[in-house]
A and B are shown apart, each in its own frame.
Chain A
Amino acid sequence: NAGVTQTPKFRILKIGQSMTLQCAQDMNHNYMYWYRQDPGMGLKLIYYSVGAGITDKGEVPNGYNVSRSTTEDFPLRLELAAPSQTSVYFCASSSPGVGSPLHFGNGTRLTVT
C-alpha cells in the first residue's frame, strides 16, 4: 500500500517555464488537496477536490491549475513559473468526514530561478 505518491521529489525551473506535479493515491479517497509550504511557514492550501470532476480554489490558487479526471490522480499544473512559487509542495488525500485525517505525500521541492 503506497499511500500518496508525489513525483518528482525535486525540480528546478527557469522563470516562465511550466510543469506538472504529479500526485496519486491508492486508498480510494474522495478528497485530495494541494498545499505549499514556504520556508519556516505552515501549509497553505492551493486547490482541493472532493471527487473526480470537482475542484475548488484554496487560499493561494493564483498561478496554478488542477484537474481531477480520476479518483486516484490529482495533478497540479504551474504555468509561467515565478520565483514566488519556490516552495515545497504537498499533496494529501482523505476520506470524507470532518474527523478524517489527511494522508500526505513526501512533498516536491521546487526551485524557480
Chain B
Amino acid sequence: AQTVTQSQPEMSVQEAETVTLSCTYDTSESDYYLFWYKQPPSRQMILVIRQEAYKQQNATENRFSVNFQKAAKSFSLKISDSQLGDAAMYFCAYRIHNTDKLIFGTGTRLQVFP
C-alpha cells in the first residue's frame, strides 16, 4: 500500500527560528513527485514546495526548503525565519508517475509563538 507518514501531530517554533517537519513515504516506484501543502485556518490548501524524485538537489522556495533522502524515503520540510503567518497544518503528499492520485499524510499542526 502506498502510504505517507507524518509522525509529528504538532510542532511549535518561536518567531524567527527554524523548524523541521518530518515526512516518510512508502513506494516501490522510482518516478514520483513529493509535495508539501499548507492549510491555514482559512481551510485553503496552498502548495508550499515540490520535489522531483529524480533530482538529487533539494528544492528551495524562499524560506522553505526540503531535505530529500530518496534511499530512506524521507522528505522533511525546513522553515527558516519562521513567521506568525506560517502557523498552519502542513501536509506531505506524493504522486507516482502513471497514476493520477495525490496521496496525503495526516498532517502536522505548526504553532508559531512571538
Contacts and interface: CB of A to CB of B under 8 A. Distances in A.
A48 interface: yes
Interface residues of A, number: 23
Interface size class for chain B?
20 to 34
Nearest to B51: A99
B96 to A, nearest CB: 7
Nearest to A9: B43
Interface string B39-56: 000111101001010000
B100 A50 contact: yes
Interface stretch (B60-68, B79-87, B104-112): B104-112
B33 A98 contact: yes
Interface of A: 31, 33, 35, 40-45, 48, 50, 56, 58, 88, 90, 92, 98-99, 101-102, 104, 106-107
Given A98-B33, A102-B45, A102-B102, 16 more contacts: A33-B102, A35-B104, A41-B107, A42-B6, A42-B91, A42-B104, A43-B91, A45-B101, A45-B103, A56-B100, A58-B101, A92-B102, A98-B31, A99-B95, A106-B42, A107-B43
